[in-house]
Amino acid sequence: MSFFLFLCFITLLFVPSFHASDTDQDQDSGNTHAILPRSDIDLLEFPLNLEYFEAEFFLWGALGYGLDVADPALAFGGPSPVGPKRARLSPLIRDIIAQFAYQEIGHLRAIKSAVRGFPRPLLNLTKESFATVMNSAFGRPLIPPFDPYANEINYLLASYVIPYVGLTGYVGANAKLLTPRAKRLVAGLLGVESGQDAVIRTLLYERSLTKVKPYGVTVAEFTDKISLLRNKLGGEGLKDEGLIVGKAWGAEGMIRGNVLAGNKFSISYGRTPEEILRIVYGGGNERRPGGFYPKGADGRIARSHLI
């Protein structure tokens, strides 16, 4: 009798939690492979391009190796990135970037458990590739060329370039999704992606007035130039803001510090896949691969723009 009661007790204790974790998994990573509409599949696959970029850049920057070591299967046979390196970072920043790296691996897994996806695209993560972005941002060659891996400030500035673009992409995609499953996944990806952006921006904000060596330009000015470049390349107006802005552009038009970017209601900006391609290809044209993606991004949306 007491054994029977014990069994009942155990059953009550465990059955609900097993059930809850099943449900969680279904919603979070879509393990059921239920059929999604074509447009949801396309919109979920597109961000893999950025997640691959972030996974490689953060893994290499923090740990000195990429997916080929961390989880080769996730690359789906796609080529290894060109030029990433272990960055010179303090223990705190290395720890934070390593956390971001593993988060990106999780994101790749989550997307790939919901949709088939595609192999890792060729990524140009050479210091020259980042130097080219900075030169376009400043409208002149920085001398010596910007090296994202050389020190902590440079690495954080290079990181400013990426999760934010992913964030605007998730905001943009969300409104077009049809199914609750896809929306749940994108909301979850957006949450962590914007968290990463907030951490990077905060670390940079602490250093706003520090001059980036040897350029004699402050961190705040760097972020301003990078944001202006992205606005220009995206071609759809103001969707990007540096760390210190004119008061009119701060929250409620009341403040110049701009640790988070947002519109006049402090709502995150959204971007379409096309705007994102114009930015990450570096030339303002979704039909012309280049920049970080020498052979273009993958998935139906990106491919549809390639001739």
132 binds ligand NAG (CB under 6 A): yes
272 binds ligand NAG (CB under 6 A): no
Contacting ligand NAG (CB under 6 A), which of 124, 223, 231, 258?
124
- Return the closest-CA partner of residue 163 out of 114, 221, 215, 96: 96
Q: 4: which residues sit within 8 A by CB, 6+ positions away?
A: none
Distances, alpha carbon 275 to alpha carbons 242, 292, 302, in Å: 18, 15, 11
Q: What are phi and psi of 131, to 5 degrees?
A: -60, -40
User: How many residues bind to ligand NAG according to rule CB under 6 A?
Assistant: 7
- Return the closest-CA partner of residue 264 out of 254, 251, 255, 276: 251
Nearer Cβ to ligand NAG (155/205)? 155
Other Cβ atoms within 10 Å of 140 Cβ, number? 9
Contacting ligand NAG (CB under 6 A), which of 29, 49, 103, 129?
129
Least Å from the CB of residue 219 to ligand NAG = 23
- Return the closest-CA partner of residue 227 out of 191, 192, 260: 260
136 binds ligand NAG (CB under 6 A): no
26 binds ligand NAG (CB under 6 A): no
Least Å from the CB of residue 75 to ligand NAG = 17
- Return the closest-CA partner of residue 307 out of 293, 294, 296: 296
Other Cβ atoms within 10 Å of 205 Cβ, number? 18
Q: Using CB under 6 A, which of the segments 22-30, 57-65, 125-133, 196-204 binds ligand NAG?
A: 125-133
CA torsion angle 196 297 48 194 (round to 10): 20
Nearer Cβ to ligand NAG (179/285)? 285
294 binds ligand NAG (CB under 6 A): yes
Q: List the beta bridge partners of residue 212.
A: 217
Least Å from the CB of residue 14 to ligand NAG = 53
Nearer Cβ to ligand NAG (81/169)? 81
188 binds ligand NAG (CB under 6 A): no
> 283 with 291: CB under 8 angstroms?
yes
Q: How far apart are CA 17 and CA 19, in angstroms?
A: 5
128 binds ligand NAG (CB under 6 A): yes
Element (H, E) at 218: strand 217-218
Nearer Cβ to ligand NAG (250/291)? 291
Least Å from the CB of residue 73 to ligand NAG = 24
Least Å from the CB of residue 128 to ligand NAG = 4
Nearer Cβ to ligand NAG (124/168)? 124
Q: What are phi and psi of 5, to 5 degrees?
A: -60, -40
Least Å from the CB of residue 231 to ligand NAG = 21
Between 221 and 250, how does the x/- string for binding to ligand NAG read (CB under 6 A)? ------------------------------
For the record, the structure tokens of 21 come out as 């974790």
Between 55 and 94, how does the x/- string for binding to ligand NAG read (CB under 6 A)? ---------------------------x------------
> 194 with 268: CB under 8 angstroms?
yes
Which residues would be at the binding site for ligand NAG (CB under 6 A)?
82, 124, 126, 128-129, 132, 294
